[in-house]
Chain A
Amino acid sequence: MQYRGAMQKMQAGKGPKKKNVMKRLMEKRAADSHVGIALVLLLLVVLQTLVLGFDYDSFGHWFNSWFRNWINILRNNAGVGIVSLGMTFVIITGGIDLAVGSTLVATGAVIMTLIDTGAKGVLGAAGMTGVPAYAITIVAALALGYLLGTGIGLLITRGRIAPFIATLGAMKVFRSVTQHFMQGYNPRVPRDFLQISNLQVGGLMFMPIVYWAVIALILYFVSKRTTFGRQVIAVGSNERAAQLSGVNVNRVKTRTYSLMGILVAIASVVQVARIGSMDYANAGSGMEMDAIAAAVVGGTSMAGGRGTILGTVLGMLIIAVMNNLLNLFGVPPFLREAFKGLIVVMAVLLQRKQRA
């Protein structure tokens, strides 16, 4: 937890003993941060830099291309990155969400239908265009994501269905229904809407990265400082003790899935705005595994009770750099998945050793 506020207050004039307590608190926080994962990431980045080749003579030029490569990596992973943040909360409570890819296409379909500039476009037909139409679309997408997520959450908590089964079912249902209703319909996304993801500043497209970073910051705060964030840890670590401490376990769990739904909807907006279309059969498939991998590599325990937002961001970055490296090394595409699998297993093995 963060104690900075308290610390300033203590330092402002209270006894020296309390000051010591606060100091030690801060030290401990530094110690249990993610030094191991960060080191692995650093190693991979150095390796990547070496592979790309370091050019002493024209540093400016070299740095420019290195930087652009990084913007590309981050932008390509922003969607899964956002989803992996929500997955962290879900996994900490001891759950799992396999339905994220399908929720992505379901919300994507709603976005496309609303925003379509063609004859069938809902908002266009109502005479609504431009920013108000975009705002309505985004709100509608978030609302749908929230509803689908909450539905899954209630199925798990009230219906007492194992998270794996409930979300496996939802995964099949959401995608198949979406595909059914969207077949033979090719909406056109207005060009201005694409600015959400493709806005260029100084010749760089980095908006998805900004969204990812902002959401990560917000959720970092949520996980460390809010009742909900801490109750998630409590529920995951010892559900019975949490319940007997007055925590509404079912509500906490349901909310993690609701949050997951909203985050998937955001990822959906980012994705539709990036490419202006959506492949309902394939978009987001495998996304759940990438999100789980990021969380697990970042130190989240599948048994629940342990995991952090910072860890998941680092985990996502490791996977992203790894992908980039495999690309640079020219590893054949089919083999890349094997490496991804190996990283996840190795990360967990390493963490187990660290803890022992």
Chain B
Amino acid sequence: MRFLLKVLRGIRRRRGRTLKQLVSDADYHEIEAYIEQESLTGKLENTEALIKAAFGGSPDLVFRRMRLAANDQIEVLVCYIDGLVDMHLLAEAILGPIGSELPFDLPLPAAPKGAYDLLGQSLLHGAALQEVDELGDALKVLSKGFAVVFVEGVAQGQAYAVQGWVERSVEEPTTESAVRGPKQGFVENPRVNTSMLRRIIGAPELWFEELEIGGVTKTKVTLAYIKGIASNDLIEEARRRLQSITVDAVFESGYIEEYIEDAPFSPFPTLLRTERPDKAAGSLLEGRIVIITEGTPFVLIAPAVFASFLMASEDYYERSWTSSFLRLVRIIAMFISLTLPSFYIAITTFHQEMLPTPLILSIAAQREGVPFAAIVEAIFLELSFELLREAGIRLPKVVGPAISIVGALVLGEAAVQAGLVSSAMVIVVAFTAIASFASPIWSMTLSVHLLRFPIMILAGSLGLFGVVMGLSAVLIHLSALRTFGVPYLEPFSPVIFPQWKDAGIRAPLWMMDVRPNRKSEQDRIREEPEQKPRPPQS
């Protein structure tokens, strides 16, 4: 808002027109400029008019003019936005005390200022009292669900946190479900989210910093870290990046991500997002920072190296062998999802000698009569798969099954029977699709989907040479990437052997005694050594 106003102030500075004129002109910039100049006068009439004008007379804005029951000379204005406040709380904490007699031992206020102080200090008991001196501040807190109390003759207001609105309750995370592990996911309310982190991490070293980003939306963004484990440089850098954002709206953590990521043009995400409090807490304990955005259950984790996109929080709950195997499966799946169609195209159109004879004959038999080149066939099928996937997400739930039936029948059966595509290609595309969904992080899945197409085109025009060129380009790009100062391919490049315990494989927990930290000032020891369970020595 400050940014907006600065601009506005530069554009025009008109005075002398009345508020009414301004409202009827419906030029909000001017109203805003007017409000900016106007400070609280202590005249309830005026204040009410100003606030009303600022909100354009929106019907959800409620004004309640009352007289103090203890002294009916003193007029009070209670102002709140209907729907953002808890009515019971409002009645009990604000309206009730104003409208009832004083408790016997309090002195009777005579002057407005005295009454104002009395209200703040003794009578009203909403949480988080905040003094409002400027009209602009009042407007801000109103939209956050505060009730603001003005007293006639006092050029100040008191804001009480009596928020209460309909909210989604804590549910199982939908995008990262786990067989084993906590079933609760983050919600849209940042305060609930921070509380979830607090409940997992009991130590007071868990620090939160709150910022407000978004000139219009005024979204709360919370930076969370564990002091002493996260490096100060990282915290400083994250704070700097967050503070440098000046934008009018933040609806989702994706907005934040786009403004603070390291490589905006890279197809790879450099920030991890999660819905799982346990994953966020785990990251905090590895010395990373977590960014919680109001209004979305997805929090951001930074730095996020490539290997972390192949990890699921369940890896740490299952036993080491199985987790390591699953990670291996995910790595293979990612590779398949990136390259399988390309390899198929390259080998069947350029390197027919590479396949075993029975296999090549079988593929040749299937391609008999297919009118398209392998590359065209592949792109056609891959695109239709992407279409199906996208349609499946956007469709109303009721018609969802219909699209899958159509997709399975049309693509899997009819197209093959009609001889438009070969069944080998359908198998390849289906296998690729299955492999792509094995990745635990959706944003990485999308990146891989995206990269598949250029590599397919390279495969179709240059064969395996093209595939290798494409993969080299991807690898070169990956090695050049950084995420909050950390090389993206760490711990593989640069090689950091101790961290291999938790990258491609997942070593037993009692072996991971040191945190993957990079700065000496941090607390690196995770556990006492020699904790391998063994039968009692007798």
- Verify that A and B bind, or say they do not: no
A residues lining the B interface (CB < 8 Å): none
